[in-house]
């Protein structure tokens, strides 16, 4: 039986004005009082796509910063890094080729964890299968936008929504 190709899922928390971080890198506005579907999401994935900046930030935080994270195979996308931490995999060549190869390998789905530059590259290459946004009930007024440098229109299908008592609403879209 042929298994379905692995999906790349962009999954992030955003403010209503579309920022994934505040003007000084803050993410203290992200709700942590509930699970918000993360446990179920973690069951679907076994790998992580991460851009260079997010990777370097994660190194400074250490593993302790992300309790409850499943063990994930980490793919770090960078044109400048020479090496990455033990266990992680550096992707520095042709992004399209590498991502297509990884998606065709056996495994669970892959979490694209923000990173505006990597997100834009993969969106423009048509390599993102699903977008899950945890839209927080706040306007930040500035910061790092989730979407930038996207080239042209990308139509979406809204497949799921979940509204939480805190005012967070999660929106799930698939891409054609």
Phi-psi region for residue 89, left (φ > 0), alpha (ψ -120 to 50) or beta?
A: beta
Closer residue to a copy of itself in complex, CB, 90/171: 171
**Near a copy of itself by CB under 8 A, which window of 39-47, 58-66, 69-77, 161-169?**
161-169
Q: Does position 139 bind a copy of itself by CB under 8 A?
A: yes
Which of 65, 66, 89, 158 is in the footprint of a copy of itself by CB under 8 A?
Answer: 158
Q: Does 32 bind a copy of itself (CB under 8 A)?
A: no
User: Would you count residue 146 as binding a copy of itself (CB under 8 A)?
Assistant: yes
Contact 19, 144 (CB under 8 A): yes
Distances from the Cα of 11 to the Cα of 4, 103, 168, angstroms: 20, 17, 14
Strand 144-145 and strand 19-21: pairing? antiparallel
Angle (nearest 5°) at CA 40 between 38 and 43: 110
Cβ proximity to a copy of itself: between 98 and 135 the closer is 135
Q: Which of 71, 82, 83, 153 binds a copy of itself (CB under 8 A)?
A: 153
CA–CA gap between residue 76 and residue 93 (Å, rounded): 11
Residues within the interface to a copy of itself (CB under 8 A):
16-18, 22, 29, 123, 131, 133, 135, 137-142, 146-147, 150-158, 161, 163, 167-169, 171, 173
């Amino acid at each position: 039986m042929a298994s379905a190709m692995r999906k790349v899922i962009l999954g992030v928390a955003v403010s209503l004005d579309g920022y994934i971080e505040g003007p000084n890198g803050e993410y203290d506005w992200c709700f942590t009082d509930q699970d918000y579907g993360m446990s179920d999401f973690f069951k679907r994935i076994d790998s992580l796509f991460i851009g260079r900046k997010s990777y370097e930030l994660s190194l400074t935080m250490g593993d302790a910063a992300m309790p409850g994270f499943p063990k994930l195979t980490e793919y770090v996308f960078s044109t400048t890094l020479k090496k990455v931490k033990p266990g992680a995999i550096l992707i520095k060549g042709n992004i399209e080729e590498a991502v297509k190869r990884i998606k065709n390998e056996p495994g669970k789905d892959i979490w694209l964890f923000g990173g505006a530059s990597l997100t834009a590259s993969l969106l423009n290459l048509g390599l993102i299968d699903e977008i899950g946004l945890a839209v927080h009930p706040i306007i930040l007024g500035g910061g790092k936008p989730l979407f930038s440098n996207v080239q042209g229109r990308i139509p979406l299908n809204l497949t799921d929504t979940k509204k939480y008592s805190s005012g967070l609403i999660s929106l799930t879209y698939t891409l054609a």
